[in-house]
Structure 1
């Protein structure tokens, strides 16, 4: 990879690069495996709480914070290790990646672009994905830890909505020779709009009508067949 990349390529993760929702899948995976029936009930209760918040009109950022509250008291190193195991199992299953996006990001890397994953999910699950596809940067929500124990709070702001715009701009400042107007962004949900609006080449994965209405000139990538 060249020292000076041609462009930055920003990609959402859940339902853009991978077909599922990593946050909830890992929640179920971890708590059932680590804490048995009580853990499974805890994960289910967390899902219901977040669903109720969303149904009540709460911003997605609020739901994101509620998600991380569920991890209070867990050891960060253990969660990270289970994230690696989660990825090993899930990525071995056909359909884990959205093929069109994975192919597009691979082509960007071969062309000398630098791939950046931008996600409301957290390093335990995003880092293994980033390593697998050769991403250079991970911009994501980071849960707070004290003495290696997760507090249930978020360090800084969630990487959701306007948070994605902020981290994209911050990273771009470290690449003064690159103009965001020349860069690409991949997303599937209206919450990705602030990120997509920062780049000159937005790509909508799956054809969200709301995103396309906001960015009528965006390229569309189909979800496509499994890979």
Structure 2
């Protein structure tokens, strides 16, 4: 849904901010088993995927390379696996950062438009969006042809792209950035946090911790989950 005109916005990074895991990689692990790869092939592909986190590889490039792994799969099938992946986590517990989830729902109760901002993709984010009651997801968008993923990425949502997308949404809503909120855990969230009037750092990233100390931002520990 679009942002409500004039309503403040609260932007939530997802991985290791709203939830306790890196959704892309955790889902990929689940997906490999679900589509029938052997244990040996699963481990090879998991290791290869995590090599994209290596130092020196730009995060946007790694993001694009990661999503090539879904080329040839029907988007609807991947989405169905995403719902099953999420349901499994929900049943086991420990997926959500309790204090951050409470903050999101508190903003919703106050009439604030809540926005998930993530380099992950709809197969992971749509179930999270539905469960939390968030209003909007700004995420990586994959190209599909006749309902099948091509392996190409139409839009990434990594690093500076997060702040740029948030800025556009704020401008469209007509609300001052100073009236908006942001939550993040990683240095790639820094520009997003600097954009808004009220920022919250989740976890113990030293760069964000130093910025929070300098600017008087709120901090939330990253260990309490539901």
Provide the aligned C-alpha RMSD in A.
1.9
The answer on whether the counterparts of 2:203 and 2:222 sit within 8 Å (CA) in structure 1 is yes
Mapping for residues 1-227 of structure 1, pairs under 5 Å? 6-37=7-38, 41=41, 44-156=43-155, 158-176=156-174, 178-215=175-212, 216-217=214-215, 218-227=217-226
- For residues 70-102 of structure 1, the C-alpha deviation after alignment (integer angstroms, 9 at most, x for no partner) is 111111010011111111111122211001100
4+ long deviations beyond 6 Å:
none
- For residues 20-55 of structure 1, the C-alpha deviation after alignment (integer angstroms, 9 at most, x for no partner) is 1110111011121112317x72x5444433443433
Structure 1 gap segments, 5+ residues each: none
Figure out how many residues of one structure are paired with residues of the other and give that number: 222
Q: Normalising by structure 2, report the TM-score.
A: 0.91
Structure 2 gap segments, 5+ residues each: none
The answer on whether the counterparts of 1:95 and 1:226 sit within 8 Å (CA) in structure 2 is yes
> Quick one: structure 1 residues 201 and 3, their matched pair in 2 at CA, closer, same or farther if it must change by over 3 Å?
closer
